Amino acid sequence: MTPAPVRPPGVGPGVSPGPKHLPRPILPPALRLPAAAGLIVFAVAVGTTQVALQVTNRQADRQLQQLGQVYLDGLVANVRPGLQARDPADIAARFARAFGEQSVVAERGLFAYAADGELLARHGDPALPMPAPGFLTGTTWAIDSETGVAWISGGVQEDAGPVGQLVAALDVAPILAARARLAWIVVMVDLLLAAAFAVLTGLVLRHLGRPLRKLVQELSEGAHRPPARLPETLVASSDPRTAHVLRAYNRMADGVRERERLSAALAEREQAAALGQLAATVAHEVRNPLGGLATAVSTLRRFGDRAEVRAESLGFLERGITALERIVTGTLDAYRPGEDRPLTRADFEDLRHLVRPAAERRGVTVVFDLDLPQGAIGLGSGGVRQVLLNLLLNACAATPPQGVVGLQARILQGDLVCEITDEGAGLDPAEALRLSDGAASEPGSRRLGLSVVVSLLGNLDARASVAERPTGGTAIRLAIPLVTPLGAPGAREDRA
């Protein structure tokens, strides 16, 4: 069943509860660190490969330039006589022989210029454009990646001065294509290796972070159940620093469970003490009339044939039984532990611990919503604690597993108003009526705890109402008048 909507603990009226919707993380916390490490490894691997490719390409360009310079040096030695004689026919013939002896480097075009810049001879692809003016002086090198042509130029010198300029257009398209294929192969291999190592890094970090993930999981679930110890095998397989943290958590979990055990034992001891004191009170008050009743029975046995004796003895027995009934009823109705201290918010926190063992046995969640001041509330602690403890235990017993039991408490118009909700099958109408009216249970009723609650509510001058919840279950509302109003001279306050 769905519990009644309540304010989250610690959020009072006028206080903003904070954002209702937070952005959902893309990855769960357990995967964020391995994923981040894997991405870093991947990025570093790809980045270093790109840098290596750039360095390799520059080195290959320098090697191409050196190859072109070697080719040009040989060509200069071959055509120098023609340049010196300014003989275009001789130069063209020598260019033709150079084209016919291609082996490693394929020419696209050869150009010869006189010292004054006049074009003396040209041989090769007629569609090839003329060299740029920058190639007509000095030594120049450039690669046109779009056409796959490497341009190189060099001057022809002699003792008297320059005699001309040679320009060669070399076909480097196969070399550039092979280099591009090699670059793609390197990139693909690098991506595969980087992805593999990134996944491996993530898996290693996930394995190494398993103890801490388990610790975070246990701490996160601690709000819904008592903390559980981490397995010793997990602690033993961790590194020393992590193992130290895990052992500290296990000690904390042992301490919490020991405190829960002591709280349950304390609750049982308080209940046993209250029952013992009640039994002692009833025995003390009943023992005295029993002697007189025994005497009346003995008289009837001996003189029961005499009418006046029989009438007198029966009347005495009737009055004695009535007195015993009055004593027992009065003791049950009036009994309550002596109030040795005022009620405070800490008493409600004690109830949370006292109810927890019963709730855990039933698999029930108990939710407290306390809007109470610090310090004395203006009531004795014993009666209120006993009433709320009985009602909460009854609610836990009535609620099916995985259900929710709730307690709301606040000060409203001079009353301590408490509401106990459950998700059970509902309170019997007759019992609900007796609780609301404050009447004693009928003979044979099995709800003895409810009778104690009715008696204590009468002593507290409290008002009770029972309502069936629309979603199923019961809501019991108590309004207990404050003996000392908050803020009155007799009221005690906590000052921080």
Asked, for residue 189, whether it belongs to a domain, the answer is no
The answer to whether the CB of 112 falls within 8 A of the CB of 120 is yes
Residue 76 belongs to a domain = yes
pLDDT of amino acid 364: 92
Q: Which CATH number covers residue 436?
A: 3.30.565.10
Q: Which of 143, 162, 181 is the last residue of a domain?
A: 181
How many domains does the chain contain in total? 2
From 181, 208, 239, give the residue that closes a domain: 181
Task: Assign 496 to helix, strand or coil.
Answer: coil
Q: Report the pLDDT value the prediction gives residue 314, as an integer from 0 to 100.
A: 79
Residue 381 lies in a domain: yes
The pLDDT value given to residue 105: 67
- Domain membership of residue 373 (yes or no) is yes
Q: Which of 26, 24, 30 is nearest to 202 (CA)?
A: 30
Residue 169 burial (C-beta neighbours within 10 Å; 0-12, 13-18, 19+): buried
First to last CA, the chain: 40
**Region of residue 218 (phi > 0: left; psi between -120 and 50: alpha; otherwise: beta):** alpha
Q: Specify if 453 maps to a domain.
A: yes
Does any domain span residue 34?
Answer: no
Q: What is the model's pTM?
A: 0.37
* β-pair type (106-114, 161-171): antiparallel
Count of CA atoms in the C-beta half-sphere (13 A) of 56: 12
Q: Which of 175, 179, 173, 178 is CA-nearest to residue 108?
A: 173
* Residue 181, burial from CB neighbour count under 10 angstroms (0-12, 13-18, 19+): exposed
Q: What is the CATH number of the domain that holds 156?
A: 3.30.450.20
User: Residue ranges of the chain with pLDDT lower than 70?
Assistant: 1-34, 100-105, 205-206, 208-209, 212-213, 220-226, 277-278, 280-282, 284-292, 316, 319-320, 323, 326-340, 438-451, 485-496
pLDDT at res. 303: 79
Dig out the tokens for 378 from the structure.
Answer: 């203006």
Contact, 150 vs 70, CB < 8 A?
no
Long-range contact pairs involving 457-460 (C-beta distance under 8 Å, separation at least 24) = 457/387, 458/333, 459/333, 459/334, 459/336, 459/383, 460/379, 460/383, 460/384, 460/387
Range of the domain at 80: 45-181
Whether residue 433 is contained in a domain is answered as yes
Q: What is the CA radius of gyration of the chain?
A: 50
How many Å apart are CA 21 and CA 369, to the nearest integer?
A: 22
Residue 416 lies in a domain: yes
Q: Which residues pair with 342 in a beta bridge?
A: 380
Edge-first strand order for the sheet with 140-144 is 119-124, 106-114, 161-171, 149-158, 140-144
Alpha helices in 399-461 (DSSP H): 429-437, 448-459
DSSP codes of every residue in 66-105: HHHHHHHHHHHHHHHHHHHHT-HHHHHHHHHHHHHT-SSS
Indicate the DSSP class of residue 267.
H
pLDDT score of 163? 81
Among residues 148, 181, 214, which one ends one of the domains?
Answer: 181
Q: How is residue 488 annotated by DSSP?
A: S
Which tens digit of pLDDT belongs to each residue from 393-430? Answer: 889 988 999 999 999 999 998 899 999 999 988 777 77
